[in-house]
């Protein structure tokens, strides 16, 4: 994979892990998939990385991103008050 990516995958010993693409160690471990997905989305918010959410059998359920931080850059003009 050319872009940075994060993967929500079943952990071998139960629960769910979030790991970076190519890594052989998990970045973080969770008891359930929803919490893992939530953390992954927060983790990549400012990195422009892709997120792959996997099924129990390891195949890809969905891919999203790259996700950019929706907050405007400091000093940049916006129409928001």
Partner 1 sequence: MPPSVSGDFDKNVFINCPFDPEYTSLLRPLLFTILYVGMIPKIGLERSDSGETRINKICEMMRDSRYSIHDLSRLQSRRRNEFYRMNMPFELGIEYGCRQFGPDHFRNKRCLILEKSRHDYAKALSDLAGVDIKSHQDKPEDLILAMRDWFFETVGLRNIDSRTVIWYKFTDFTSSFYNTRKNQGYSDEDIEDMSVPEYMHFIQEWLKDQRVTAQGATVRVHAQTPIISTTET
* From 58, 70, 75, 81, residue interacting with partner 1 (rule: CB under 8 A): 58
Nearest in space to 65 (alpha carbons), one of 46, 81, 39, 78? 46
Residue 62 · residue 50 · CB < 8 Å: no
Could you say which DSSP state residue 71 is in? S
- The site for partner 1, by CB under 8 A, has a size of 20
Tell me which residue has tokens 């994979």. Answer: 1
Q: How far is the CB of 80 from partner 1 (least distance, A)?
A: 35
Unique residue bearing structure tokens 């872009």 = 3
Among 16, 30, 49, 59, binds partner 1 (CB under 8 A): 59
Q: Which residues bind partner 1 (CB under 8 A)?
A: 1, 5, 7, 9-10, 12, 19, 21-24, 26, 52, 54, 56-60, 63
């Amino acid at each position: 994979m050319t872009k940075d990516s994060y993967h929500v995958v079943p952990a071998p010993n139960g629960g769910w892990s979030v790991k970076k693409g190519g890594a052989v160690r998990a970045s973080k471990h969770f008891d359930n998939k929803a919490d893992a997905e939530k953390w992954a989305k927060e983790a990549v918010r400012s990195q422009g990385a892709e997120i792959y959410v996997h099924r129990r059998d390891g195949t890809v359920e969905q891919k999203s991103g790259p996700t950019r931080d929706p907050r405007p850059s400091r000093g940049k003009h916006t129409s928001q008050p």
